[in-house]
Amino acid sequence: MMPYTPEEVRNAVEAGPITEEYRADAKRVVEQLNRLRATEIASYLQYKQHAYTAVSLLSSALKSEFAAHAEIELQHADILGERIQQLGGMPVYSPTEIARKADEEGVRAEQGATLAEMVTENLMLERRQVAAYTALLREIADSDPTTARMLGAILAETEKHAAELADYLKRTTEPSR
């Protein structure tokens, strides 16, 4: 015989991992995570598009770099989707919703005409994500430590991408004076 009342069991099933010690607003966290997920999907599409376009022999290294980044963006979208589900939310999946949420974060998949333009677009997108992840991480660091750790892991990879892209532009762009 279980020492729990039917109501306790019902509540536990309803709440899943969220206990009375969870101090964040799960609904708000889910909404923020879905916005980040939308930017990751836009980022995936942008990197893939750039990988398709960067076909010349000269840019084969960049092509595989774009493709590798694209895979990581999809992983980020996945990690966020899993966490959203754990928190009782619905991972965003409708293309129109994804476009709207990404747009609210200032992210739109872009297709530059030159490699330098593409790298710049990627750098700008990564930097927007760095800012958004950092802000949310700071907000929920104590109230939702699991989500915060997850954000920290994605943030580290996002900063790495931004640094790589900035380094590429430093190496390849002529000083303008």
Is 65 a binding residue for Fe ion by CB under 5 A? The answer is no
Is 101 a binding residue for Fe ion by CB under 5 A? The answer is no
Which is closer to Fe ion, CB of 18 or CB of 169? Answer: 169
Among 140, 147, 161, 168, binds Fe ion (CB under 5 A): 161
- DSSP E strands: which ranges in 47-114? none
Total binding residues for Fe ion by CB under 5 A?
A: 6
DSSP string, 106-159: T------SSHHHHHHHHHHHHHHHHHHHHHHHHHHTTT-HHHHHHHHHHHHHHH
Q: Which of 104, 122, 110, 103 has its CA nearest to residue 167?
A: 122
Is 128 a binding residue for Fe ion by CB under 5 A? The answer is no
State how far the Cα of 51 lies from the Cα of 39, in Å rounded to an integer: 18
Stretch that binds Fe ion, among 38-46, 55-63, 107-115, 141-149 (CB under 5 A): 38-46
Is 50 a binding residue for Fe ion by CB under 5 A? The answer is no
Q: Which residues bind Fe ion (CB under 5 A)?
A: 40, 73, 76, 126, 158, 161
